[in-house]
Amino acid sequence: MSRSNEHIEKPEIAVKQPNPRLKSWKSVFNKLKKNKSAVVGGILIILLIIIALIGPYLTPYDPLYDQDVTNKLATPSSDHWFGTDNFGRDIFSRVIQGTGLTLMIGFFSILLGATAGVFLGIIAGYYGKRIDSIIMRFMDILLAFPSILLALTIVTVLGGSMVNVVIAVAVSSVPIFARIVRGSTLSVKKLEYIDAMRALGASDSRIIFKHILPNITSPIIVQATLSIATAILSAAGLSFLGLGAQPPTPEWGAMLSDGRNYLYNAPHVALFPGLAIVVAVLAFNMLGDGLRDAFDPKTRE
Amino acid sequence: MIQFIIRRILQTIPVLIGVSILVFSMMHLVPGDPAQVIAGEGAPQEQIENIRERLGLNDPLPTQYLNYVTSAVQGDLGTSMRSGRDVSAEIGARFWVTVELAIYSTILAVFLGLIAGIISATRKYTAIDTTIMIVALFGLSMPNFWLGLMLIQWFAIGIDLPSWVPFFNNTAWFSPSGWGSFSQIVLPVITLGTGSAAIIARMTRSSMLDVIGSDYIRTARAKGVKEQIVIYRHALKNALIPIVTVVGLQFGGLLGGAVLTESVFAVNGMGKLIIDSIQARDFPVVQGTVLVASLLFILVNLIVDVAYRFLNKRIDLD
Amino acid sequence: SEPDEGGNSDSDGDGEGTSEEAAEGGELVIANQSDVVSMDPAGSNDTPSSNVQANIFETLVTLDENMELQPGLATEWEAVEDNVWEFKLRDDVTFHDGSEFNAEVVKANIERILDEDVASQRYFLYEMVEDIEVVDDYTVRFTTEYPFAPFPAHIAHNGGGMTSLEVIEADYEAMENGEEPGSYINENPIGTGFFKFDSWNSGSEVRLVKNEDYWGEPAHLDSVVFKVVSEANTRVAELETGDSHIIDPLGPSNMAQVENSEGIHVAPQESVSVSYIGFNVEKEPFDDPNVRQAINMAIDKSQIIDGIYEGVGIPAVGPLAPAVYGYDEDAPGLEYDLEEAKQLLADAGYEDGFSTTLWTNDTQERIDAATNVQAQLQELNIDVEVEVLEWGTYLERTAQGDHDMFVLGWSTVTGDADYGLYPLFHSENIGEPGNRSFLQDEELDEMLEAARREGDEETRLQLYSDIQTELTELAPMLYLHHQEFLLGVNDNVQGLTQSPTGILQLHDVSLNQ
Amino acid sequence: MNNQKVLLKVDDLKQYFPIKGGFFGRTVNHVKAVDDISFEVYEGETLSIVGESGCGKSTTGRAVLRLDEPTDGKVEFDGTNILELNKKEMNKFRKDMQIIFQDPYASINPRHTVRQILTEAMEIQNAVPKHERNDRVKELMETVGLGAHQIDRHPHEFSGGQRQRIGIARALSVDPKLIIADEAVSALDVSIQAQVINLLKKLQREFKLTYLFISHDLGVVRHISDRIIVMYLGKVVEIADKKSLFTNNMHPYTKALLSAIPSTDLEAKKERITLKGDVPSPIDPPEGCRFHTRCPFATDICRTKVPELRNTEGMKDGHRAACHHMEAIRSGEHQPTVNA
Amino acid sequence: MTGAPNPSYDNILEIKNLQTSFFTKDLEVKAVDGVSFNIPKGKVLGVVGESGSGKSITSLSVLRLIEEPGKIKGGEILFKGENLLDKSEAQMRKIRGNEISMIFQEPMTSLNPTFTVGQQISESFRIHEGLGKKEAKKKSIEMLKLVGIPSPEKRINQYPFELSGGMRQRVMIAIALACNPELLIADEPTTALDVTIQAQILDLMKELQEKLDMGILLITHDLGVVAETCDYVAVMYCGKVVEFTDKKTLFTEPKHPYTVGLMQSVPQHDQDVDGDLAVIRGSVPSPADMPQGCRFAPRCPFATDLCRNKLPDLETDEEGNQIRCWIYSDEWDGDPEVNVHEQSKSTS
Ligand SMILES: Nc1ncnc2c1ncn2[C@@H]1O[C@H](COP(=O)(O)OP(=O)(O)OP(=O)(O)O)[C@@H](O)[C@H]1O
Ligand SMILES: Nc1ncnc2c1ncn2[C@@H]1O[C@H](COP(=O)(O)OP(=O)(O)OP(=O)(O)O)[C@@H](O)[C@H]1O
Ligand SMILES: [Mg+2]
Ligand SMILES: [Mg+2]
């Protein structure tokens, strides 16, 4: 390419630049690092992961089979930091033991659901017309469909494994992401810079994934980080169908709902797993807020 | 737009057919035989057989489906296998309860959520923003049954506080169960509204943050518009698309998913009906409720789509 | 229709606020877990329905709280032949619609249950009936296929509640027009009871009012409301706030709360039910009675009763609850003995234990019981995986024998040992009808058949005693406990009793104000 | 001149936008933004479009690129009617036809840095081998007068003129044959503007680039164009080579336009033809000659009959104007009506 | 015309040593670096200069609408003698849109996409003049008519995206002029307009200016517009004012080499120029590498060591015109006979 331009002299300085893509990720990362909320959230998540990985080896009691009915529903004490449940099992140990499983269910089901939902929603919103109608009506069906029936079918067809509870929760979150993404896509696709990309001959997939998607990340991040809480709760809600964590597996959501019988005389049974969920969701939300800011070019690095 | 609405209404037909086939096949796919559930344990084989025969469960599946659809098209949703009652009547009684519950809760959620979200956005990363976030996350992570039972404990049974506490020493203000009077409505609506409010608040916050830096917000400020109006009028309207979407989703979700709240407050709504009838393998009732729920969903989403147009005239739906 | 019609507001007013002096009148509000399925005695088989129907419809014979047979609409009954039972009826009884009660009515009622087209859920009660003969206006005879000793107990079951003949005819007419059986009766439940049907708001509440023209002594109450409050904690709240007078059932974990509150109390009642863990005796290793016995001996049942039921209920030795006719308190059981259990298991060749699964449906108590048994069986190195199944699935798959072990319960609703044993253990009932352990034992089958035909009480009791011994030996199940019903009751409620089958006896109930 | 190759041929192009009204947003009317225009652009030339704001210049540009599907007409590029192409085929063509948008900020993705914006353009059309892209980006930045230090900045960190230059650099990055420049230089200060214009001309000389140049600045237009189209209310009123248009213009609107150019010459006070009368709108364009409502020469025929583009005596070949009275006006026979 | 006015309260706006910076990741971008100028009451000040030299930021600073990460670091902005930088946000709000209004440079993004143009214009009437909905609408239609938009009754119900670039710009103008401000800041108000409309708008502005004694700060690239409209002109380069003169001086004897270069780059519409346009060689320095001395030194054909090493001050001559260039100072160490015009022409 030889279109040089002698008319305008080269400027004296030319800053040498590293790989641009790396650079932009680095900038996102730098912004994240400077964002208090993101840092706190990130640390919390790392902490939770550490607990999930090594916690089970350190629990003071056997979280599964160590039943002691004589010491049931004991309130928190130095022996049992979080008290005991109706079989006298140590709630602290159970919460620790349940960390990995619970986080995995929450995280992966949303990851899966969001991925599929975002994809469908963006396609529907971008192409509009018939494709939109087909996808969105299908989403309507999914939304209106009782999740219990869906879960039941999944147990029947696929069995009740851990992976399948993730699938079940994911499937019911797909239409939610699809609708949110579609709505935002509808307005972003009308912006002039999308026209500019079309004028350049950009393929649809490039426009969709490089130009529309990054501009609708914030509702996705919000919905995803929040959905982790609902995912944990609804996964627990499915365990009675034989889907997901089976007793005595200490999954937080299940522990929380087991505690409902004792809300009056032993509220701690439900309280601690509940708090654990809040902490986890809080962590993801703080990181999400940080991400949102980091992707926003207008915030200061 | 009229064409758009008409087209959407026409689209409900294939959707309903799709839903009914899906529900029908899934109900038959999962194990569990209505006759057996109805007969209960210990019933002799003969009795189960009789019931099966009566319910037409011995017909081939396509026949069963066709029979169902034929009468459904004529507006007859059949009768409950379990109680023999008319499905339309069973749904009808509960439909409005659920719709009312959903509407009130959504109103509450939108109200709280918008305000909290806007405050959060305009005071980004201050103590108040963090507080709102944490409260919201509690609201969200708290299962409905838990919040509901807490509310019942505090505001229906009442907690005894020392008598010097003004106003709050007898907090048995509301009724723990039922649906109808104001005192019955308050607690379930709060219970249901809280989770949605949390989602709406967070969505509002982020959506507002996306908008607040725009040039046209600067223009509004340059006009000397009051900050509140800048936020509530100029920014909010632009931020509203994802918010409207979640409101629609929440509302829709309430229509089908308020089971826990319904049972905690003994509200006789559709949520419980769906679950109960799925468990009893009461095919006609499941079909009927899912069909009605789908219709509602389509309607809600249609309204949401029309709202998009109102919010942003550039969006063309046709 | 309007959602908020109905009696919620009424109950608010009357339930609490009435300050009348007399023990007469008033409206009693009962909070139940589930709604009535049907008002038709032939069209339901669940306790909430029975609980309501018991006040509207009466049976020829009744069971009192001691499970003794008492005269009802029949004054006397006897087996005129081995397989023929004759009932003499009261002649002063009229239905709520004014029509007369007589032998024709009885015949029509029972025949309706047996009608294939009706496909009644109560068919099992009278499946042995071959012929019903109207001897005269007030005498009716039932001929059974085989001698059937517990017949009066079956007649006493709520399923045998008498409906007005006119209503039955109207119902058949409706069936001709393509309506479901029971659709007319459901709307017009006309019986002879001390309460009359007033309204039913499906899913929400049923209201009954006093039958002023009752043939016996009329009820004290003016009306009763059965309302649906499915959440246990909310029922307690109902009781605490005074919105309901009785809550049925009261969860064991809520007992403390009720006991600690003023003005309300807990009313326990022994039941005729048993909760058990069944083994699939067709599958290894449960085909070996030693293994089954070992497991029976390895479980400390008091842990379950304490851990789940707050100490309420009694440990089960066999399938029959003490209140059931035919229960033998001397029948031997398998005592908790871990050493012996280990020995037995070793004998069977499983000294290192084995792995198996334990199925349960989604009832919290059953899941908890399963979890506890799982923990206890660790001692025997038996590695149990608990699997929760949804009810419909659970019923179907246990009926097919897909399971290893499963948790379930059984209620001997007729109060007679026959109903407590025959469906569960006779090989004829394998699978769907009730024998989910798939036990096939000819000797046991013979004993069960003999016992149900035996006319002589002494011999019959002896037979049941033998059967119970035999069942201990066979150990097709791990019998866990006999439940105790718990009611939460307002102190103002007087004269309330509950039968061991779970039916509330409201005839003598009055409200103190 | 006319024996040159025709690169772009626009025939009877129409672009109507529906106006929605009422509660349900029915289409109540149309904005006839471009109403039946035809012109040709020869390879290697600069054709400028000037005209009143809102007369359909941008719309023409967008329609030619199929950014909005035209309501009717034909657009031939290099002999192919591109309106018949499918999306994929069209995307191939887009390498050869680029646009510089009027509103620079709105037309660049706010989340991308300049580097990303330019690299991506090359990536899409694979215009430059991968390893050369980085250098090419820098080259382009320099070309349009942006410093290398700004390469990783986001659009909002630039001034209006700087953004405009990003847009220009993007269009240049894929080596197109035709560039539609919609007010490409109007946001630039004159010194940068001069640089960019010089550059555009140089590129044109070297690579036979063709420009469709939309501008209000008649100074710039005069400098850069070979031929000029004057549009009024969705119609072409005059089309001529540069010289003829500035010195021998025939249409009254052209005359008015040229007379309104602000001058830096403080002494030369010239007569400005002020247009009076209602400014018509493309929603209900006037019957007959669209300019008649404001034309000082309008007569009855102007109100009823649509004038055709035509060439008459005294006009150069290829110079055409659409006025019923142009001969008479030229000869001075026809004088402006006083009360127009 | 007797030179530039002396600073006094006759000035509707007086900016003293204004400094506004953006704090980006690695450095401070001094977008406005010690700008001073004033606008006498009822006069039009034209601001021209290199793109990116800080014209828009200066005007945004006046309204105190600089957003993160930008900050007004110092200086004074005296509006009618009062320093705007001391005002509370509420006081500023009263001033914005009412006493000072602004036409933004980018009409598409500066208009709210979700409101009709009518709503956006009426709003000013409603907040500052307390008009009702109907009246405000009527006045909005008048405003649109005033700025030359055809069939305003229909346009008023349209959304910004439905308008052409020039129409949007005119809507912005209508909003700004709505409340008869005392000071109008117009950031390239006519770039998207054709010359006839431009003339019309400029006439309108002038008319209002005379009628209301309004001061105007007009940022533009079009020297023709400057010639026809302005009374004074400030030339900016790299965040600084390099020359401030009355219009006549600017066009007859521009002093600063940058100004001269600028004048020579203008393409002429009344004659054909063959060949290239004259340009100023070189390009704007980066903020990371600001020249120590005169900012224009690297591109200036006359630059000496003095220029390269020492930043000249803004000197006021006897006529009140201001110039920031060593050539006109006593310290000048280059050719004393330098002719700015001749020399720079030859360099092109
Ligand atoms: N948010 C920001 N962050 C960093 N730098 C900025 C930001 N906004 C503006 N600038 C820089 O400030 C300088 C002045 O910008 P300004 O918009 O005032 O220029 P201008 O004189 O109006 O130019 P133009 O005529 O092109 O509009 C520019 O160099 C620009 O890059
Ligand atoms: N998307 C649209 N919907 C409705 N009307 C539109 C749309 N786009 C443009 N128009 C209308 O089309 C006409 C021509 O617009 P266009 O943008 O082509 O004008 P223009 O000649 O480029 O003007 P300018 O010089 O002001 O940019 C205008 O009346 C405008 O209102
Ligand atoms: Mg345009
Ligand atoms: Mg600017």
Domain ranges of chain B: 2-73, 94-311
Residue with tokens 């008492």: C70
A13 shares contact with chain E (CB less than 8 Å): yes
**DSSP letter, residue C99:** P
pLDDT number for residue A1? 39
Any domain includes A8: no
Q: Given phi > 0 = left and psi -120 to 50 = alpha, else beta, which region is B42?
A: left
Any domain includes A68: no
From CA C360, how far away is CA C346, in angstroms rounded?
27
Of C308, C370, C375, nearest to A86 by CB-CB distance is: C308
Each residue of E219-232: pLDDT tens digit? Answer: 988 888 888 888 99
For chain A, the domain total comes to 1
Buried b (16+ CB within 10 A) or exposed e, B270-298: bbbbbbbbbbbbbbbbbbbbbbbbbbbbb
Asked if residues D56 and D33 have their Cβ atoms less than 8 Å apart, the reply is yes
Residue B210 CA to ligand 1 center (angstroms) comes to 22
In this structure, which residue's CA is closest to atom 18 in ligand 1? Answer: E54
Each residue of D221-245: pLDDT tens digit? Answer: 888 889 999 999 889 999 999 888 8
Any domain includes A113: yes
Q: For residue B57, which residues of chain C lie inside 8 Å, CB to CB?
A: none
Q: Which residue of A has its CA nearest to D66?
A: A199
pLDDT number for residue C6? 34
CA atoms within 13 A on the CB side of C69: 20
Neighbouring CB atoms inside 10 A of D28's CB total 12
pLDDT number for residue A23? 55
**What CATH code is carried by the domain that includes residue D266?**
3.40.50.300
pLDDT number for residue C18? 41
The mean pLDDT value for D101-117 works out to 85
From CA C507, how far away is CA C510, in angstroms rounded?
9
Nearest CA-CA distance, residue A240 and chain C, Å:
5
Residue C492 one-letter amino acid:
N
Q: Is the CB of E105 under 6 A from ligand 1?
A: yes
Residue C433 CA to ligand 4 center (angstroms) comes to 86
Q: What percent of chain A has pLDDT over 90?
A: 18
Neighbouring CB atoms inside 10 A of D230's CB total 26
Q: What token pair was written down for D155?
A: 């659009």
CATH 2.30.30.140 fits B94-311, yes or no: no
Cis previous bond, C249, omega within 30: yes
pLDDT per residue of chain C (513 residues) written in tens, 0 to 9: 333 333 333 333 333 334 444 467 889 999 998 888 889 998 888 888 899 999 999 999 998 878 888 999 999 999 998 889 999 999 999 999 999 999 999 999 999 999 988 888 888 889 899 999 999 999 999 999 999 989 999 999 988 999 999 999 999 999 898 888 888 998 899 999 999 999 998 888 999 999 999 998 999 999 999 999 988 889 999 999 899 999 988 988 888 889 988 899 999 999 999 999 999 999 888 999 999 999 999 999 988 898 888 888 999 988 999 989 999 888 888 889 989 999 999 988 888 889 999 999 888 888 888 989 998 998 888 999 998 888 888 888 888 889 999 999 888 888 899 989 998 999 988 888 888 999 999 999 999 999 988 888 899 999 999 999 999 989 999 999 998 999 999 999 999 999 888 899 999 999 986
For chain D, the domain total comes to 1
D206 pLDDT above the threshold of 60: yes
| 3-state secondary structure string across chain B | CHHHHHHHHHHHHHHHHHHHHHHHHHHHHCCCCHHHHHHCCCCCHHHHHHHHHHHCCCCCHHHHHHHHHHHHHCCCCCECCCCCCEHHHHHHHHHHHHHHHHHHHHHHHHHHHHHHHHHHHHCCCCHHHHHHHHHHHHHHHCCHHHHHHHHHHHHHHHCECCCCCCCCCECCCCCCCCCCCHHHHHHHHHHHHHHHHHHHHHHHHHHHHHHHCCHHHHHHHHCCCCHHHHHHHHHHHHHHHHHHHHHHHHHHHHHHHCHHHHHHCCCCCHHHHHHHHHHCCCHHHHHHHHHHHHHHHHHHHHHHHHHHHHHCCCCCCC
pLDDT number for residue D213? 92
Residue A277 one-letter amino acid:
I
From CA D278, how far away is CA D293, in angstroms rounded?
6
Residue E280 CA to ligand 3 center (angstroms) comes to 29
Any domain includes D110: no
Residue D158 CA to ligand 1 center (angstroms) comes to 5
Residue with tokens 């000082």: D296
Residue E205's pLDDT band, with cuts at 50, 70 and 90, is confident
Q: For residue E261, which residues of chain D lie inside 8 Å, CB to CB?
A: 191
Name which of A46-50, B208-212, C6-10, D322-326 the model is least confident about: C6-10
- E149, E154, E162, E194: residue to mutate for ligand 2 pocket, most atoms within 8 A of CB: E162
CB within 8 A of E29, min separation 6: which ones? D157, E21, E22, E23, E287
Identify the three-state secondary structure at position E267. Answer: coil
Asked if residues B141 and B150 have their Cβ atoms less than 8 Å apart, the reply is no
In this structure, which residue's CA is closest to atom 25 in ligand 2? Answer: D53
**What CATH code is carried by the domain that includes residue A170?**
1.10.3720.10
Q: What is the mean pLDDT of chain A?
A: 82
In this structure, which residue's CA is closest to atom 10 in ligand 1? Answer: D157
D22 pLDDT above the threshold of 60: no
Q: Look up the domain containing D225 and give its range.
A: 6-96+176-331
Apex CA A193: angle with CA A190 and CA A197, to 5°? Answer: 105
Q: Which residue of C has its CA nearest to A152?
A: C390
C45/B51 Cβ within 8 A? no
First to last CA, chain A: 36
Q: Which ligand is nearest to the CA of D164?
A: 1
> Which 53-82 residues of chain A touch chain C by CB within 8 A?
64-67, 69-70, 72
Q: Which ligand is nearest to the CA of E163?
A: 2
CB within 8 A of C387, min separation 6: which ones? A160, A242, A246, C357, C358, C359, C360
B28 backbone dihedrals φ, ψ, rounded to 5°: -85, -20
Task: Please classify residue C242 by burial: count the beta carbons closer than 10 Å to its beta carbon, then call 0-12 exposed, 13-18 middle and 19+ buried.
Answer: middle
Neighbouring CB atoms inside 10 A of D298's CB total 23
Of E191, E224, E265, nearest to D194 by CB-CB distance is: E265
Q: For residue B1, which residues of chain D lie inside 8 Å, CB to CB?
A: 20, 24-26
Q: Is the CB of E239 under 6 A from ligand 1?
A: no
Residue A246 one-letter amino acid:
Q
Greatest alpha-carbon pair distance for chain B in Å reads: 84
From CA C16, how far away is CA D229, in angstroms rounded?
91
Q: What token pair was written down for C171?
A: 């119902």
Nearest to D146 by CA among D126, D127, D122, D164: D164
Q: Is the CB of E162 under 6 A from ligand 2?
A: yes
E112/B223 Cβ within 8 A? no
B76 shares contact with chain C (CB less than 8 Å): no
D172 pLDDT above the threshold of 70: yes
Instruction: Specify the higher pLDDT residue, E288 or C324.
Output: C324
Residue D99 CA to ligand 3 center (angstroms) comes to 12
Residues of chain B under the 50 pLDDT cut:
none
Identify the three-state secondary structure at position C106. Answer: helix
Any domain includes A226: yes
Determine C/D contact with 3+ CB pairs under 8 A as the test.
Answer: no
A297 shares contact with chain D (CB less than 8 Å): yes
In this structure, which residue's CA is closest to atom 2 in ligand 2? Answer: E162
pLDDT number for residue C169? 93
D124/A200 Cβ within 8 A? yes
Each residue of B15-41: pLDDT tens digit? Answer: 888 888 888 888 888 888 888 878 777
Q: Is the CB of D33 under 6 A from ligand 2?
A: yes
Residue E68 CA to ligand 4 center (angstroms) comes to 17
A110 pLDDT above the threshold of 70: yes
A271 pLDDT above the threshold of 60: yes
Residue E66 CA to ligand 4 center (angstroms) comes to 13
In this structure, which residue's CA is closest to atom 25 in ligand 1? Answer: E51
pLDDT number for residue C12? 39
The mean pLDDT value for D161-167 works out to 83
From CA C256, how far away is CA C310, in angstroms rounded?
9
The mean pLDDT value for D49-54 works out to 87
Of A8, A9, A13, nearest to E286 by CB-CB distance is: A13
Q: Where are the beta strands (DSSP E) in A52-166?
A: none
Element (H, E) at C62: strand C61-63
Nearest to C236 by CA among C221, C248, C223: C248
Q: For residue D20, which residues of chain B lie inside 8 Å, CB to CB?
A: 1, 313
Residue D147 one-letter amino acid:
G
Determine A/B contact with 3+ CB pairs under 8 A as the test.
Answer: yes
Q: Which ligand is nearest to the CA of D101?
A: 3
Residue E47 CA to ligand 4 center (angstroms) comes to 11
Determine E/B contact with 3+ CB pairs under 8 A as the test.
Answer: yes
The mean pLDDT value for D92-121 works out to 86
Asked if residues E264 and E344 have their Cβ atoms less than 8 Å apart, the reply is yes
A113 pLDDT above the threshold of 90: yes
From CA C382, how far away is CA C388, in angstroms rounded?
19
pTM of the predicted model, to two decimals? 0.85
A88 backbone dihedrals φ, ψ, rounded to 5°: 75, 15
Chains that touch B (3 or more CB pairs under 8 A): A, C, D, E
Any domain includes A14: no
pLDDT number for residue C365? 85
Best of A158, A246, A255 to disrupt the C interface (most C CBs within 10 Å) is A246
Any domain includes D167: no
C489 backbone dihedrals φ, ψ, rounded to 5°: -130, 135
Q: Look up the domain containing A136 and give its range.
A: 34-60+81-295
CB within 8 A of B162, min separation 6: which ones? B169
Q: Is the CB of D53 under 6 A from ligand 2?
A: yes
CB within 8 A of B173, min separation 6: which ones? B155, B156, B158, B183, B186
Residue E347's pLDDT band, with cuts at 50, 70 and 90, is very low
B2/D26 Cβ within 8 A? yes
A9/E283 Cβ within 8 A? yes
Residues D24/D27/D33/D34 CA torsion (nearest 10 deg) = 150
Residue A18's pLDDT band, with cuts at 50, 70 and 90, is very low
From CA D79, how far away is CA C509, in angstroms rounded?
99
D105/B2 Cβ within 8 A? no
Q: Which residue of A has its CA nearest to D116?
A: A20
Residue E161 CA to ligand 2 center (angstroms) comes to 9
Q: Is the CB of E163 under 6 A from ligand 2?
A: yes
The sheet with strand D178-182 has its strands ordered as: D97-100, D178-182, D210-214, D46-51, D227-232, D235-241, D320-321
Each residue of E93-132: pLDDT tens digit? Answer: 888 888 898 988 877 788 998 889 999 999 888 888 888 8
Q: What token pair was written down for A168?
A: 């079940």
| Ligand 1 atom index nearest CA of E59 | 18
Render A134-181 in DSSP notation, one character per residue: HHHHHHHHHHHS-HHHHHHHHHHHH-S-HHHHHHHHHHHHHHHHHHHH
CB within 8 A of D10, min separation 6: which ones? D37, D38, D39, D40, D60, D64, D73, D74, D75, D76
Q: Is the CB of E166 under 6 A from ligand 2?
A: yes
Task: Please classify residue D317 by burial: count the beta carbons closer than 10 Å to its beta carbon, then call 0-12 exposed, 13-18 middle and 19+ buried.
Answer: exposed
CA atoms within 13 A on the CB side of B80: 27
E51 shares contact with chain A (CB less than 8 Å): no
Q: Which residue of A has its CA nearest to B150?
A: A263
